Amino acid sequence: MIESTYILSRAARATCRDGQIYLLLVAALLLCAGPLSAETTREPENMEVEERLGEYVPTDVELDDESGASIVLGDLFETNSQKPIIIVPSYYTCPRLCTYIFNAVQKAASEVQSSRGLEPGGDYLIVSVSFRPEDTPAIAREKAAKYRNLFQPPLKPEAWRFLTGKPEEVGRLMEALGYPYRPDGEEDYTHGAAIMMLAPDGKI
């Protein structure tokens, strides 16, 4: 893992209602700052997240939901009244960094929900996408249950999705997001900490 932290602040300002969902991203970043500083200091080469503000992701990317059913990224916008999507690149068996990110996103979303009335699923969506090919829908389902149940009341599945997919499809999405990752030669992956927001047309 590496401790690089990245947030698309200008895109968030441009696509969020009154800029308030932007605050959720900032809150998540700040909540991550402490744990990320505790990561090791090694900096693998060519692992910086590339900022691609204003570019578009391929909305025809096919992914799998927690039941194993195939979904298309663009359909998430279509079936959720064109809400913006917070994308959380991750993998569900990550032993350290991804857990910090999940915890920070959950805490930030809960705080913004209670302080500003912005509801996951109502005002925006959270979509975690695993880039580890071995992560199965069953693994995603277990992770989803843990984090949705931290909310009061628990989130509905459509509010925070935990998706997996074929390496070539996930790779297309991560490439468009400018998010690099690679096996570390052991059992884990080297990757950064990133939170992005997509407008309903797939614009970063």
For 9-59, what is each residue's pLDDT tens digit?
343 444 445 456 655 655 555 555 444 443 444 455 667 888 899 999 999
Beta carbons of 7 and 36 less than 8 angstroms apart: no
Give the model's pLDDT for residue 102: 93
Give the model's pLDDT for residue 36: 45
Burial class from Cβ neighbours inside 10 Å (0-12, 13-18, 19+) for residue 94 reads buried
Alpha-carbon dihedral sign for residues 134, 135, 138, 139: positive
Nearest to 19 by CA among 156, 158, 124, 166: 124
Burial class from Cβ neighbours inside 10 Å (0-12, 13-18, 19+) for residue 99 reads middle
Both tokens assigned to 193: 């900490």
Both tokens assigned to 47: 């692992």
Q: How many CA atoms lie within 13 A of 13 on its CB side?
A: 5
For 61-116, what is each residue's pLDDT tens digit?
999 999 999 999 999 887 767 788 999 999 999 888 889 899 989 988 998 888 88
Both tokens assigned to 66: 């927690």
Mode of pairing for the β-strands spanning 193-198 and 85-90 = antiparallel
CA pair distance 16, 87, nearest whole angstrom: 14
pLDDT at 202 over 80: yes
